Amino acid sequence: MSASGAHRMAKSVTAGLSYGTLRKECLDAVRQWPGCETIGGIQVVRNNTTGSFSIRVTLYGQADRKTADRAINCVQREKRRHFHLLD
């Protein structure tokens, strides 16, 4: 193995989820964040790459927008590590 290849991270295998299941998983996760309990809706957007997705808050409820946006970004990063969106 070359020196430059030694530092490369291995791509882990992710589990495939349907749109509805992934959306519920992400909404439940973001509502666990302090101050984000009232988030009413999120949107899962398919990206151009197969299985790739983005998440954004659509209904903030009483949650502070900045806090909710920060929370959804963290949830998105974590869920991308574990899951991919099925077609």
Could you report the per-residue pLDDT of 9-47, keeping only the tens digit for each? Answer: 566 789 999 999 999 999 999 999 999 999 999 999 999
Which position has the higher pLDDT, 83 or 49? 83
Q: Measured at the alpha carbon of residue 47, what is the angle toward residues 43 and 50, in degrees to the nearest 5? A: 125
Sequence ranges of the domains in the chain: 15-85
Single pTM value for the model: 0.82
What pLDDT does 58 receive?
Answer: 97
Which secondary-structure segment (H or E) carries 46? strand 41-46
Question: Quick check: helix, strand or coil at residue 85?
Answer: strand
What pLDDT does 12 receive?
Answer: 75
